[in-house]
Chains A and B, each alone.
Chain A
Amino acid sequence: MTESPIEHVTCLGCGCACDDIAVVVKRGRIAEASNACTLGAAWFGDGVVPAEIRVDGRAAPLERAIGKAAELLIGAARPLVYIAGDVSCEAHREAIAIGDRLHAAVDSVAATAAGAVLAGQRRGRATATLGEIREHADLVVFWGVDPDERYPRFVARYATAPGDLGKTRRVVAVDVGASRGPKDADLRVAIAPSDEVDAIGAMRATVAGRDASPARFGSAVDLSRRMMQARYTAIVVDGEPGAGAIDPDRAETLIALGQALNGPARCTLCTLRGGGNRSGADAVLTWQTGFPFAVDFAGGPPRYRPAGGGGSAEALLADHEIDAALVIGAPATIPGPVAEGLGRIPVAVIGPRATTSAVRAVVAIDTGVAGIHEGGTAFRMDDVPLPLRASLDGPRAALDVVRALRDRLVGGAR
């Protein structure tokens, strides 16, 4: 492909999905991804990915690999289709069609943020697209997260206010145990992890005009007063699992606080989500089935069996329910427990670096990376859809391979 920079490239290195990357290609490799952060630079790398096809560990033609994958899935009593990262929504659509036809269980990397999504299903949520934080928020509260670590350009792109707002905006770091907010915050509030949910409850009570909190929540309650006096507060929290344990009720109580703050003022709760187009997998599965993850087609129509319902890929694999799986996407993005479960059963993998993955696959078909070698659509963490641009020639497109497998399984019918 061309040696001149490809502009406006969308990066899927994290959920920020920055779409201002200029990729310079020299001699068939990515020489530079300007504007990209360290995480983004690593995600683009030099753009060189394997382009092999293996069946039972040996090189094979595509046709045979697809035939073998179809055979594996048709022969399975309880198949799983797992959508991993770095594939486009167009490929997601085909993958779910396969799951539908096979009466399979379907889950995806979007389930890493299941806690936040499930809490939203119980209560709703008051949120905003990321640009609203920049345009309107005069108070930004980072709740137990410093975006610099896993979302390096979040603050620069979405939480740096223009003009007068920039001068008056205040940034608050809420440190929940070792989960600390940004170092350069204007104000810090420390909360013990065991107190977190109660402290949020006290803040919400204050917002609702009920004011009888234990003294140890004083600084949290003060923060809630500050939020009530602000015009527009953004609470930023990480939806992805981190090193420390998180109180399972945190997500819902924060949602309730955010909603309540829209009485005296305005408030958005921004839930950070990881990269690889996982928000896209959530969106596509929702529009095709009504449910964001942990969908089971075993009985025909989709059933929803999320956390606690035993229908997540992790739970199904741990229970030895699944006897074969199809992975669409980059195996490297699969969470540990799911990868572990996949290691115990025959798996077909179609995705970036499939042949070099730690998941031992009966069929492995290397494809391009969505956003590097192939176009399509991806979703930002706030559900804003963005186009992907190919900046480099790569192996066969994931979309084409998944579609070929679908045609083999479904006969192309809609």
Chain B
Amino acid sequence: MSNPERLRISGGALYDPANGIDGAVRDVCIEGERIVAELPRDAPRLDVAGMIVMAGGVDIHSHVAGPSVNHARRLLPEERAIDPVPAPRLEDGTLARTGTGGTVPSTFATGYRYAGLGYTTAMEAAVAPLGARHAHAELDDTPILDAGFFVLLGNDDYLLRQIAAGESARARDYAAWLLGVTRAYAIKIVNPGGVSLWKSGDPGRRNVTGLDDAVGSSAVTPRKILETLCAAANHLALPHPVHVHCNNLGQPGNYATTLESMKALGGQRAHFTHLQFHSYGGERGKPWQSAARDVIEYVNAHPETSVDVGQVMFGPATTVTADSPVEYLLATSTGGGRKWVNVDIELESGCGIVPYTYKEQAAVAALQWAVGLELFLLSTDPWRVVLSTDHPNGGTFLSYPELIRLLMDRSYRDERLKRVNQKLLAGSALLDGLSREYTLGEIAIVTRAGPARLLGLRNKGHLGPGADADVTIFASDGDRAKMFATPRYVFKAGTLVVAEGQLRRAPTGRRLAVRPEYDTAVTKDLRRFFDAHATVSFDNYGAEPVA
């Protein structure tokens, strides 16, 4: 099919929750890169009668580009060897690029595979500032997706020094400067203070355990880091608030830390990511259990708080995170013999990588799977509880269709539940028989409209006039996994990129970045700091082109 400048997509059932449309048959009109209200009657037409029309998918949290992701790719040649990605033959007869898949695909394959699922926007969730230039270069080689990244703060020496000195205004100016020079989209906090301790080599204190542990100076605590950066993001009116990976990820009993973190930022906009990994009851040395209900009830009651779930899906995954002390525990707690990468990143952050397979018959993996589903099913506001697997940590983005089926199809879910290890599931609401089934409208919210709204992307996630013409069209199928895995058509900025399940075009995506204003006095102090501590010149730092 050709790619006309104007196109009327007609006869489909629209799921456009941002505009209050829940399955009504409506036309969608595309002119150039945008959705428009109307087109002349003789405009070219794509008949999609009987099909389901949604906006392009928006992934709020995924690891797809940058130094950590590339370390993960390099670490696992064996999984790539069994998943070759041939070059797609495009509409104009040319071949696109080849690549490899596995849990951490090569850049071109990442773009093609996301588009193949009907996703047209993705946020890389953790880039150390020092790696920003690298992350942008990878995104330049990741076709189709409009993409940006969250820049890591919260374990960086300069910030901790400002907090120690009580310089919150300067901390804010620094954050604004950093977002600009790295061309980032939002502030990411990972295990505030914990990574800094891990890197310090203090033998008695290899991580923080709670919000009020001192990090270096007694004036610096995880709580203080969260408060400082949350206030900065909101003061700077960033489109997306602080994106928080809480302390104590993956630890039994960590739900208490999670709730405390949410309360610490109570009343202010904040996003808490991969909540599943932070919603466990029990305590160290005792059996784990689900604490999903406690955590989601808080979220339900607090409209300023948003989350993505970070669902665990059975099968191979790669855990890759800036939370390097956690990866040390994972690498050493599973009997050894696993590959393990740790990279301490000077003055800023860390990186840890451990390949991992979630097995149905493993008690902890089954609990994690159940906790994620509980969070989804007990959520009362899909706009604030959105879909992620923390790709590739809980599973790859290719598992989203299967996850959607679990949410939409109770009998399928119950059948899967019977097959998993039950040992730690006592107390899980899932065992009580949660009957909820997500509707198509709710799926459109948690995969599109919700993440777009939480990210402050006004032209994404919906199909109203002025929106980017990112449109996904599915042939209806009772097997929702199959339906969501193989959209019939995908448009990106008005370009038909997927037709009949085949990649037809692979245009370059746009970069999503912010450039907040700040008092430039901070750069004078930063220059001094760089001269004393950094190994990269201040003028070469970040991701801006140099003269």
Contacts and interface: CB of A to CB of B under 8 A. Distances in A.
Interface in A364-403: 375, 377, 379, 383-387, 389
Contact of A124 (B67, B85, B137, B341): B341
A19 B537 contact: yes
A26 B421 CA distance: 74
Of the four ranges (under 10, 10 to 19, 20 to 34, 35 or more), the interface on chain A belongs to 35 or more
B84 A300 contact: yes
A288 interface: yes
Interface string B519-547: 00000000000001111110110000111
B423 interface: no
Contacts, number: 207
A287 B70 contact: yes
A414 B339 CA distance: 34
B141 A129 contact: no
Given A124-B339, A287-B138, A300-B84, A8 B539 contact: yes
B314 interface: no
Interface in B53-100: 65, 67, 69-71, 73-77, 80-81, 84-87, 90, 92, 94-100
B413 interface: no
Interface in A9-24: 10, 19-20
Contacts of A413: 90, 92, 94-96
Given A134-B535, A231-B201, A389 B547 contact: yes
Contact of B137 (A89, A162, A384): A89
Interface in B506-528: 506-508
Interface residues of B, number: 73
Contacts of B536: 19, 131, 384, 386
A127 B343 contact: yes
A297 B98 contact: yes
Interface in A256-290: 259, 262-266, 268, 282-284, 286-290
A27 to B, nearest CB: 21
B201 A232 contact: yes
B108 interface: yes
A256 to B, nearest CB: 10
Most buried by B among A124, A303, A377: A124
B108 A288 contact: yes
B219 interface: no
B344 interface: yes
B210 interface: no
B342 interface: yes
Contacts of B131: 384-385
B452 interface: no
Contacts of B130: 129, 384
Given A287-B106, A289-B106, A414 B77 contact: no
B134 to A, nearest CB: 4
Nearest to B138: A287
A379 B67 CA distance: 11
B201 A289 contact: no
B537 A8 contact: yes
A7 B536 CA distance: 13
B450 to A, nearest CB: 30
A380 B11 CA distance: 55
Contacts of B133: 377, 385-387
A135 B345 CA distance: 11
Contact of A300 (B71, B86, B203, B344): B86
A133 to B, nearest CB: 9
B537 A20 contact: yes
Interface string A146-186: 00000000000110001000000000000000000000000
A302 interface: yes
A131 B535 contact: yes
A290 B353 contact: no
A135 B347 contact: yes
B96 A290 contact: no
A100 interface: yes
Given A300-B98, A302-B98, A120 B84 contact: no
A138 B75 CA distance: 29
A358 to B, nearest CB: 32
A132 B344 contact: yes
A289 B99 contact: yes
B67 A383 contact: yes
A292 B86 contact: no
A128 interface: yes
Given A89-B137, A132-B344, 16 more contacts: A19-B537, A100-B97, A129-B346, A136-B199, A158-B535, A231-B201, A259-B331, A266-B198, A286-B73, A288-B141, A290-B80, A290-B100, A291-B77, A301-B85, A385-B131, A413-B94
6 contacts: A93-B137, A127-B341, A231-B203, A288-B106, A301-B99, A389-B546
Interface of A: 7-8, 10, 19-20, 89, 93, 97, 100-101, 117, 120-132, 134-136, 138, 157-158, 162, 230-232, 259, 262-266, 268, 282-284, 286-292, 297, 299-304, 375, 377, 379, 383-387, 389, 410-411, 413-414
Query: Ordered nearest first, which 5 A-B pairs have the shortest CB separation?
Result: A131-B346, A301-B84, A231-B201, A232-B201, A413-B94
Interface of B: 65, 67, 69-71, 73-77, 80-81, 84-87, 90, 92, 94-100, 102, 105-108, 130-131, 133-134, 137-138, 141, 143, 198-203, 328, 331-332, 338-347, 353-354, 506-508, 532-537, 539-540, 545-547
